[in-house]
Chains A and B, each alone.
Chain A
């Protein structure tokens, strides 16, 4: 067993801690840092529920070793609400794009990554980008609508 000192920059705050090198970022976020907005589900990268942004790119945090995230910018769902709800969060709520809410943090972050790189995606582009995020409640219909609505709003705001 081996341990390492890491610096985890989570939502703009730096956490310094010693972690077992085998532990995942998902595990360390939830268990050590008690930042539990990131949810656990399959734990093997097949459902997208645990998605966080690592240097602004969506990753399954269950497949990222905590040690390899050291020094990188980590954004969890908590980071999106700083200073009030993000337009993507608002769109999800107003469009009815969430029911049980379990897939929602991962999906919202995935949507953010999409809109950051493609501010005006087509429906097909949206579906392809979120194909790695499973949802059992909504059938994805209102999720796609919410992402489109958020895109429109962000464009309108010049963001």
Chain B
């Protein structure tokens, strides 16, 4: 094939020019004739019985076309693993912000006015917000029953992972370290608000325009919520203004649909930012008790973890979350004896969903602070300690249970952890450069995967002019469509401007799972490459017949197929395409894959910080972020993902958390008080791309999008310890916590310099 020409290139996003012109259509930009505006009434209480809802005054307002409550939605609950959720609250509310009613009116102001006139009579109930409190006998029950069966506690989900024998592992250890770590609620921070436009036609067919990570995923969930057959719903995915795991959580679509059905007109709902906080689905906080044993030479012998996830008020995907955290909290290390018990516990808080690498940053925070603590007690360099325990290709690894689950059998995934560790420390000058007073350096790693368990499919179609149309149902977040164009260009040896990648709707595209789990370039890329190869095969076959020479002499290059030994004997791709209309039929290639073997990714970051001992303020001076991407099909897009992920991790480390009052009401549901990093908060970030090819990914690629936000907080916390000798074990690392810890250190008579 020769040197790659299109893959490995820094190609700007194919949607870049239109986005920079402000002319792509995001969901809030969708306008339909006779469209109404919907608004949602939300519970002000974290836990209450709904005694009565009176909508008459709201209905009487001029311009109000529909008011809905639970009786306008199915009686039966819906849900991904456990069906415990209602379109609008039924019987009681379980979190502040839970939707109770909704209004559709001719404009937003009228809808807001009508909302104020919906009268809901609540009976407040005792609420519980802390997961450990929620597990105590006598705690208020968030759910009294599930599927008709009485529930006696607030356990939402539970899973256990076990390997070897931890008791004997700890007996072998020369040192045992035990500690508790905790992380906070993080908002995905997408700038485009939650939005959907729903339209129900005369036959009852529902069409929804929505900002989602997965059009088929949204359709399935909407069908479940409304108890309507899947093929009676069409979903059109608009351009997404940021999502990071959240959009496609079926938060707004069912409400828009029942309003549209009742009003007989299309209805658009766009959340206010306050609603995206109180009524969204943020990253779940975790309390992690970790105990690790190691020998004096540094080899880890055992690890025992107990994880308590605050699951919020509804089950959502918690069953999967506890599974992921139980598997991956042990990090990218060789742990011969392991036991992890992971609990998801209901509380009267806003429900959770995926947020970029769900449970990843939480796991890394606990594991990496523990690794540093052990290294220190052993008198080992933190980098050397990690190197000693690093997993390698062929080792039993954390993803083995996943491999078993998907039935891959004899699969040894490529693992570039050691290479990444070396690359990060080398670039950071680890151990070589001394930092000044109150300055420190910290290292942290993560264990993640390219979640290849969802199917992908694609069509590559030759147009009459010899250009190519690539059709998928995959939503482009991190640059999918650009990368697919590069992959097809490489395979068909066509210039990029001859390839158009189109994202269809559920009515017009082949099925695919959602864009998430860092899987799209890997999985959709695989399917698209297969489709492109199908087209290539057909073209070569047609050319063989047309040029009357053996296929081995054919060369496909720059829109022509020619005889390598006599280049003038050629035919253009366009000619072949038009000929196919007369004989053989239009050239269509298809590609399709179910679960692909997983491709683990273990990011490594080194952070340098300066801590002000007077204020506790932590300033990050520099972050080196290394990641094994297998093969960087588009290095510019890869850098973009890593830089963005690191800054999201930085926010998680130092700035971001949901704050609540005693009644469970969110105090900082706005961008002023929920502090996301601005341009002034970002230190120099050095991206180090490591390439250790995967077995199945197109051109050896691995997933990129999630890993970069995983180790950042741990790296920063470890750097703070290196700087001023205090290890903050609760995120975020705020000046208050640093000052308090410094004070305690002084009180213990320890040197704080």
Q: Give the B-binding residues of A (Cβ under 8 A).
A: 30-31, 34, 36-44, 46-47, 49, 76-78, 80-81, 85, 89-90, 92-94, 96, 98-105, 108, 126-128, 130-144
Flag whether B21 is at the interface (Cβ < 8 A): yes
Flag whether B240 is at the interface (Cβ < 8 A): yes
| Majority secondary structure, B binding face | loop
A136–B677 Cα distance when bound, in Å, is 8
**Contact of B191 with A49 in the complex, beta carbons under 8 Å:** yes
User: Please, what's the 1-or-0 string for B478-501, where 1 marks a CB less than 8 Å from any CB in chain A?
Assistant: 110000000000000000000000
**Contact of A44 with B273 in the complex, beta carbons under 8 Å:** yes
Q: How far is the CB of B522 from chain A (nearest CB, A)?
A: 18
A47–B13 Cα distance when bound, in Å, is 24
Apart from the given pairs A78-B23, A101-B19, A134-B191, 4 other A-B contacts in the complex at a CB distance below 8 Å: A96-B639, A99-B478, A131-B678, A140-B679
- B191 to chain A: which residues have CB within 8 Å? 39, 41, 47, 49, 100, 102-103, 134-136
A-B contact pairs, 8 of them (CB 8 A): A81-B22, A85-B21, A94-B12, A104-B20, A134-B191, A136-B191, A136-B676, A139-B646
A103–B678 Cα distance when bound, in Å, is 12
**Contact of A46 with B672 in the complex, beta carbons under 8 Å:** yes
A31–B268 Cα distance when bound, in Å, is 13
**Contact of A140 with B647 in the complex, beta carbons under 8 Å:** yes
In chain B, residues 654-705, which have Cβ atoms closer than 8 Å to a Cβ of chain A?
Answer: 670-672, 676-680, 682, 685
* Among candidates A81, A90, A138, residue contacting B643 with C-beta atoms closer than 8 Å: A138
* Among candidates A38, A44, A92, A100, residue contacting B20 with C-beta atoms closer than 8 Å: A92
* Among candidates A46, A80, A101, residue contacting B671 with C-beta atoms closer than 8 Å: A46
**Contact of B244 with A136 in the complex, beta carbons under 8 Å:** yes
A131–B243 Cα distance when bound, in Å, is 22
A47–B685 Cα distance when bound, in Å, is 23
A6–B273 Cα distance when bound, in Å, is 29
A100–B672 Cα distance when bound, in Å, is 22
Q: How far is the CB of B596 from chain A (nearest CB, A)?
A: 25
- B479 to chain A: which residues have CB within 8 Å? 99
**Contact of A136 with B648 in the complex, beta carbons under 8 Å:** yes
User: Please, what's the 1-or-0 string for B337-355, where 1 marks a CB less than 8 Å from any CB in chain A?
Assistant: 0000000000000000000
Given known A100-B477, A127-B679, contact A43–B17 (CB-CB < 8 A): no
Given known A34-B31, A96-B13, contact A40–B270 (CB-CB < 8 A): yes
**Contact of A137 with B22 in the complex, beta carbons under 8 Å:** no
Q: Chain A residue with minimal CB distance to B672?
A: A46
A127–B23 Cα distance when bound, in Å, is 26
Flag whether B77 is at the interface (Cβ < 8 A): no
**Contact of A102 with B21 in the complex, beta carbons under 8 Å:** no
- B26 to chain A: which residues have CB within 8 Å? 39, 102
Chain B: interface size category: 35 or more
Flag whether B640 is at the interface (Cβ < 8 A): yes
**Contact of A43 with B647 in the complex, beta carbons under 8 Å:** no
Q: How far is the CB of A118 from chain B (nearest CB, A)?
A: 15
Given known A127-B679, A136-B676, contact A78–B21 (CB-CB < 8 A): yes
Interface contacts (Cβ under 8 Å), in number, total 166
Q: Chain A residue with minimal CB distance to B673?
A: A46
- In this complex, the member of A46, A77, A92, A141 whose beta carbon has the largest number of chain B beta carbons within 10 angstroms is A141
Top 3 closest pairs, chain A to chain B, by CB: A37-B22, A102-B241, A101-B19
- A134 to chain B: which residues have CB within 8 Å? 189, 191, 671, 676, 678
Q: Chain A residue with minimal CB distance to B635?
A: A96
Q: Give the A-binding residues of B (Cβ under 8 A).
A: 10, 12-13, 15-17, 19-24, 26, 28-29, 31, 107, 188-193, 239-244, 270, 272-273, 477-479, 636-637, 639-640, 643-648, 670-672, 676-680, 682, 685
- A81 to chain B: which residues have CB within 8 Å? 21-22
Given known A40-B270, A42-B671, contact A92–B16 (CB-CB < 8 A): yes
Q: How far is the CB of B180 from chain A (nearest CB, A)?
A: 30
* Among candidates A76, A99, A143, residue contacting B679 with C-beta atoms closer than 8 Å: A143
- A44 to chain B: which residues have CB within 8 Å? 273, 670
Q: How far is the CB of B645 from chain A (nearest CB, A)?
A: 8
Given known A85-B21, A93-B13, A137-B242, contact A100–B273 (CB-CB < 8 A): no
A139–B272 Cα distance when bound, in Å, is 24
**Contact of A128 with B680 in the complex, beta carbons under 8 Å:** yes
Q: How far is the CB of B216 from chain A (nearest CB, A)?
A: 21
**Contact of B21 with A98 in the complex, beta carbons under 8 Å:** no
**Contact of A101 with B241 in the complex, beta carbons under 8 Å:** yes
Q: How far is the CB of A66 from chain B (nearest CB, A)?
A: 14
A94–B244 Cα distance when bound, in Å, is 24
**Contact of A40 with B28 in the complex, beta carbons under 8 Å:** yes
Given known A43-B273, A96-B637, contact A136–B21 (CB-CB < 8 A): no
- B17 to chain A: which residues have CB within 8 Å? 85, 89, 93
* Among candidates B12, B190, B193, residue contacting A40 with C-beta atoms closer than 8 Å: B193
**Contact of A41 with B646 in the complex, beta carbons under 8 Å:** no
Q: Chain A residue with minimal CB distance to B478?
A: A99
- In this complex, the member of B193, B479, B636 whose beta carbon has the largest number of chain A beta carbons within 10 angstroms is B193
Given known A76-B22, A99-B13, A99-B479, contact A138–B640 (CB-CB < 8 A): yes
Q: How far is the CB of B723 from chain A (nearest CB, A)?
A: 23
Q: How far is the CB of A111 from chain B (nearest CB, A)?
A: 11
Q: How far is the CB of A90 from chain B (nearest CB, A)?
A: 8
Q: How far is the CB of A91 from chain B (nearest CB, A)?
A: 9
A127–B647 Cα distance when bound, in Å, is 14
- A140 to chain B: which residues have CB within 8 Å? 647, 677-679, 682
- A103 to chain B: which residues have CB within 8 Å? 191
Q: How far is the CB of B496 from chain A (nearest CB, A)?
A: 14
A123–B677 Cα distance when bound, in Å, is 17
Q: How far is the CB of A110 from chain B (nearest CB, A)?
A: 10
- A39 to chain B: which residues have CB within 8 Å? 22, 26, 28-29, 191-192, 241
A57–B678 Cα distance when bound, in Å, is 20
**Contact of B19 with A96 in the complex, beta carbons under 8 Å:** no
**Contact of A38 with B644 in the complex, beta carbons under 8 Å:** no
Q: Chain A residue with minimal CB distance to B244?
A: A136
A126–B24 Cα distance when bound, in Å, is 26
Q: Chain A residue with minimal CB distance to B649?
A: A139
Q: Chain B residue with minimal CB distance to A96?
A: B636
**Contact of A46 with B643 in the complex, beta carbons under 8 Å:** no
A52–B13 Cα distance when bound, in Å, is 24
A138–B16 Cα distance when bound, in Å, is 14
A102–B640 Cα distance when bound, in Å, is 15
- A126 to chain B: which residues have CB within 8 Å? 679
A94–B545 Cα distance when bound, in Å, is 43
**Contact of A100 with B241 in the complex, beta carbons under 8 Å:** yes
**Contact of A138 with B680 in the complex, beta carbons under 8 Å:** no
A90–B16 Cα distance when bound, in Å, is 9
A92–B671 Cα distance when bound, in Å, is 25
A98–B241 Cα distance when bound, in Å, is 11
- In this complex, the member of B19, B31, B193, B639 whose beta carbon has the largest number of chain A beta carbons within 10 angstroms is B19
- B648 to chain A: which residues have CB within 8 Å? 136, 139
Given known A34-B31, A41-B191, contact A99–B640 (CB-CB < 8 A): yes
- B637 to chain A: which residues have CB within 8 Å? 96
Q: Chain B residue with minimal CB distance to A142?
A: B640
A78–B685 Cα distance when bound, in Å, is 33
Q: How far is the CB of A156 from chain B (nearest CB, A)?
A: 20
- A141 to chain B: which residues have CB within 8 Å? 639, 643, 682, 685
**Contact of B12 with A96 in the complex, beta carbons under 8 Å:** yes
- A104 to chain B: which residues have CB within 8 Å? 19-20, 22
Q: How far is the CB of B275 from chain A (nearest CB, A)?
A: 11
